[in-house]
Structures are given as structure tokens and as C-alpha cells.
Homo-oligomer: A and B are copies of this chain.
Amino acid sequence: MTDPQGRDAILDLLGVLAYGELSAFDRMAADARLAPNLGLRASLAEIAALEINHYAALAQRIRELGGDPVVAMAPFVTAVDTFHRRTEPSTWGEVLVKTFVGDGLAADFYREVALFVDEPTRILVNESLADSESSAFAIEQVQQLISRDATAAARLSLWGRRLVGEAISQSQQVAAERDALAELIIRGTGDLTGVAALIGRITDRHMKRMTEIGLSN
């Protein structure tokens, strides 16, 4: 972490992760109102609260590196907000699939970046990964929903494709605009086509997860 360019890239990375967690919290808290009953609403609220703990840890790491969380997050607000605006759930099933898909994509991205960040950041990234409660809850609920309603699987599969499509589109936008971050990922993945390769691996794992819970790609 001695070269300023490397530090800038890490601050970019922490910034996008931090704003991702903050806005995930925000959206999940709002989406919890679509829950069919108080118990499920409370479960989603508890998962949303986990995102804030991740946010707080990421913001803390930004400060340790001499950065300001607000400044670090600012470049990513438009892309993340656009993703959420274009993928606003209108049913409880869509909320669950968004939680599951979003969680899975985020976990894969954390796993990828953990390979090429400094040690304290890696520890933090792995801690964020350890919370898999939200996935377990969403998987169980989606499976129940599909088993009760045969048409739900087709609709939610379509929704899953839309979610991953929007996520890729916004990620490419960010990579195109943030040179230091793109450079970090390209160097980290050791590949000339680093960003594209990373998105490819994350998409593959997303498709496997969709199949596993009974949704098609």
C-alpha cells in the first residue's frame, strides 16, 4: 500500500462495496414492506441490518487508509442507484430472488477481490462473506413459493435474468469510468481481459445457483 495509485484503487474498491451495502440495506428495508406477514417482514429487516454492519466495517477500513467514506462512495452512487431503480421488486417473490441473486453476486465479487487486496482488507472481505444467513432464508422461501405456485418459477427466472443483466451493465459502466479500479482488477486477475473474465466467472456461478434453487437461466 505504498504507491498512491494502489491505495486509490483500494479506496475505489472499498467505496463501491460500502455504497453497495448501504444501498442494499436501504432497499431491503423498503422491500420488507412487501412481505406477506409480520414474521417474514421481520426476517428481511434482520438481514438488512447485517448489511449495515458490513457497511460500518468497510467505512472503518476506508478511514484507516486515510480516506473519507463519503468521498470514496460518491463515484458509485449513480451506477448503484440506477441498478436499484431498474430492478425495483413489485412482489414478495421478486424481493426474495433479488435478495438471493444480489447476495450471491456480491459474495462472488468479494471472493474474487479477496485474491488481490492487502491483508487487512482481505480479512474484512472474508468476514463480510461469512454472513450467509440471508441466502439460506431466501432459498428456503423461494423454494416454498415455487412449490405452491407452478407459474412462479417461470416469472422469477425471467426476473433473475433481468437482475443479473442490469448488474453486469452497471458494473461495465463503473469499470469504464474508474481506471484505477479497472486496472486493479485487471492486474489482480492477471488477465488482459480481466474485467470481462471476472464478470464471466461471476455469471457462471450465478447460473449454477439459479439452477440449484429451481429457477432457469
A residues neighboring B (CB under 8 Å): 19, 22, 25-26, 29-30, 32-33, 37-39, 41-42, 45-46, 48-49, 52-53, 55-56, 59, 69-70, 73-74, 77
Contact = CB atoms under 8 A, between A and B. Distances in A.
- Top 3 A-B pairs, shortest CB-CB distance: A29-B29, A49-B52, A49-B49
Quickly give the copy total for this chain: 2
A70 B22 contact: no
Main secondary structure of the interface of A (DSSP, over half): helix
A45 B69 contact: no
Contact of A45 (B33, B37, B55): B55
Given A45-B22, A45-B52, A49-B25, A73 B38 contact: yes
Contacts of A22: 38, 41-42, 45
A40 B55 CA distance: 14
Given A25-B49, A29-B29, A42-B70, 17 more contacts: A19-B38, A22-B41, A22-B42, A22-B45, A25-B29, A26-B29, A26-B32, A26-B33, A26-B45, A29-B30, A37-B70, A38-B74, A39-B69, A42-B59, A46-B55, A49-B49, A49-B52
A56 B46 contact: yes
Given A37-B70, A38-B73, A39-B69, A52 B46 contact: yes
